[in-house]
Structure 1
């Protein structure tokens, strides 16, 4: 019990949010009479929150550096509008349109990164201006009207599922197999990491707790994939999210760039004295944010099957909330990709659960605001205790 308490205390942000997600899920599962965790609703939950989770990954990096980006919703709407012009009006092949859209996102990120990193204008001001600018450009591009429909192949980004191995089966067999493979890979990675830690005499989790952790996570993976397998299987967008989480987790934990981003957020002066090119790091973090905002806009447009002037409204607030609820520090230097995903899921489950029980949008907004305030207050309280 002492070891368990020590582990929880040293990882209070991550474990606290996981516990909060479990409790919120159980609460709404009871209040909705079991509807929340039905296969159809879980699939809808993934599809409804996918574009926010994509944004949350990029926003996390921005927040870790001590900045903020208020323009991502408008950038997502603008890129969605431009992609509609290319695919619907100009009949451009959707792969080419996707590449051009992501390049546009990178250019937008470079534009804003230049003002923040090299001109030293606060990111709040630059991205607030960007929010207004790209919202206006979206209106101009669309001329106040929606453009639809997108090509079927493009729509499958958000509405498609992995094909099954056999037709006519009640269970999506490929999804079951993927769950088993992921479980084996997870167990192998955890065992390998534990062996490495023991080799260098690092403190490791007791064998009993380690085994319990493995069993619990493997059970969650397989129950999750089984539930998906009883409907249509794994959505395409979930594969995209999984790839992004793996890539960005690796970059932030195992690369020089990731260490530089954390160093910059911890103390810009100290990072500069240590040889970190702080201006370049800030610039490329905003370029990355622009690309992921563009990707989010494409995912949303594919799900809606239309580019609309009102797309992307409040996306930035949901992405920022997901990061802070997931354990990112308001002062920079702290946060994880997994934490941002958990924060996004907390927001998504709350939105979905409150809608299922019939709470109006006014109550939903108020409750989400309180949760965000409590999450940031919890972070400040922990920092004051540590100091």
Structure 2
């Protein structure tokens, strides 16, 4: 009975995060039952390769949403940065790294442009980025002269399509992939243990030790199973390493840095943040610069994945990124959200898209399902806030 009570207490105290984990597991289980090929090594690798750029966008978007803003332009920025990279590498004959650098510079400039109008002129982010969505899409057409450019080939193509394998050998599976995933699990366990000790030191409530150990074991089993599936196909995708590095960095930035605390403060209570000495304009400026930077990384990954640049690239990417954040627990009113939650929300979107494609669901039906899931996620957020207000 104590274990059951502990589980119930854990779920109640962390409803927003535990709910999306349960939803992800349920959706994966549903598609695995409906189509046994869903959990195949080939399909799991395909999910990683096809949806990483949305997850990268979600990392930046969740910070924007936490600060109480929104960015509708990221899909157009993905197209523009990919186009600039294509012109530099394909038309100009420059090395792959020059194309990547050019894309990153353009992304930073775009972010600074939008951050200036939001932070220092005072125009709402919704309006600025809506204008940016049109502006940067038009610039994409100008840069590409209304034609597609391809192929990149070489190292640039390997950014989103390459694999690291064979470094440690292995018969029928890649040992290097398993080692990397094993290190990831060990790092997660150490991080959770240190977090638990910190909460105990500050006399905060923590789950029982058996429940804590069970959580670590479950995560370890799932992660290592996923790593084994990748190891038995083609090994560790290069783009997955990039995503993991970004998740770690931005998790630390949002949870452990002064800037991260200021982002939460601005979104949670703007007036209180101003009275506390938080430089609100500077925070708003830099969250848009950061969004432009991450959108440029997503632009490089996407253009590498499709091995070219098209004027219509990135269409509706902003909606997928925003949906990932809200499904992952971000609040519509700002001040709430986590990078990990946005990643889980993005995975839910990716799993649904991939599963429906495997089952042959009509392209007309797929956005209907995604829209309903987003609506339910926002309704869940509103229910939680009302419930919390009633308990106070």
TM over 0.5: yes
CA drift of 1:233 comes to 1.1
Q: After the TM superposition, which residues 343-354 of structure 1 pair with which residues of structure 2 at under 5 Å, given as runs?
A: 343-354=345-356
Out of 377, 380, 383, the position equivalent to 2:382 is: 380
Out of 114, 117, 141, the position equivalent to 2:116 is: 114
Q: Which runs of 5+ in 1 are unaligned?
A: none
Structure 1 counterpart SS, 2:165: coil
CA drift of 1:381 comes to 1.2
CA drift of 1:166 comes to 4.9
Per the alignment, residue 32 of structure 2 pairs with 29
Whether 1:13 aligns to 2:16 is yes
Query: C-alpha offsets along residues 146-201 of structure 1, whole Å, 9 cap, x if unaligned?
Result: 10111310011100011322567311110112222222222233233333433443
Per the alignment, residue 75 of structure 1 pairs with 77
**Cα contact 2:88–2:98 (8 A) shared by 1:** no
Per the alignment, residue 88 of structure 1 pairs with 90
**Cα contact 1:88–1:151 (8 A) shared by 2:** no
Q: After the TM superposition, which residues 333-344 of structure 1 pair with which residues of structure 2 at under 5 Å, given as runs?
A: 333-344=335-346
Per the alignment, residue 128 of structure 2 pairs with 126
Q: After the TM superposition, which residues 251-262 of structure 1 pair with which residues of structure 2 at under 5 Å, given as runs?
A: 251-262=253-264
Structure 1 range deviating more: 290-299 or 184-193: 184-193
Query: C-alpha offsets along residues 37-96 of structure 1, whole Å, 9 cap, x if unaligned?
Result: 101000000111111000000100111111110000001101111110000111112112
In 2, Cα distance between equivalents of 1:134 and 1:184: 43
Out of 207, 210, 218, the position equivalent to 1:208 is: 210
Per the alignment, residue 316 of structure 2 pairs with 314
**Cα contact 2:114–2:288 (8 A) shared by 1:** yes
Give aligned pairs, total: 386
In 1, Cα distance between equivalents of 2:284 and 2:193: 36
Whether 1:193 aligns to 2:195 is yes
In 2, Cα distance between equivalents of 1:205 and 1:212: 11
**Cα contact 2:254–2:261 (8 A) shared by 1:** yes
Query: C-alpha offsets along residues 240-298 of structure 1, whole Å, 9 cap, x if unaligned?
Result: 00000000000001010000000000011110110100000000000000011111111
Given the two structures, how large is their TM-score scaled by the length of structure 1?
Answer: 0.97
**Cα contact 2:169–2:175 (8 A) shared by 1:** no
In 2, Cα distance between equivalents of 1:384 and 1:167: 55
Per the alignment, residue 326 of structure 1 pairs with 328
CA drift of 1:218 comes to 1.0
Whether 1:184 aligns to 2:181 is no
In 2, Cα distance between equivalents of 1:292 and 1:300: 12
Indicate the RMSD between aligned Cα atoms, in angstroms.
1.2
Per the alignment, residue 240 of structure 2 pairs with 238
Per the alignment, residue 291 of structure 1 pairs with 293
Given the two structures, how large is their TM-score scaled by the length of structure 2?
Answer: 0.96
**Cα contact 2:20–2:328 (8 A) shared by 1:** yes
**Cα contact 2:6–2:211 (8 A) shared by 1:** no
Out of 267, 272, 275, the position equivalent to 1:273 is: 275
The 1:63/1:200 distance shift into structure 2, 3 A limit, reads closer
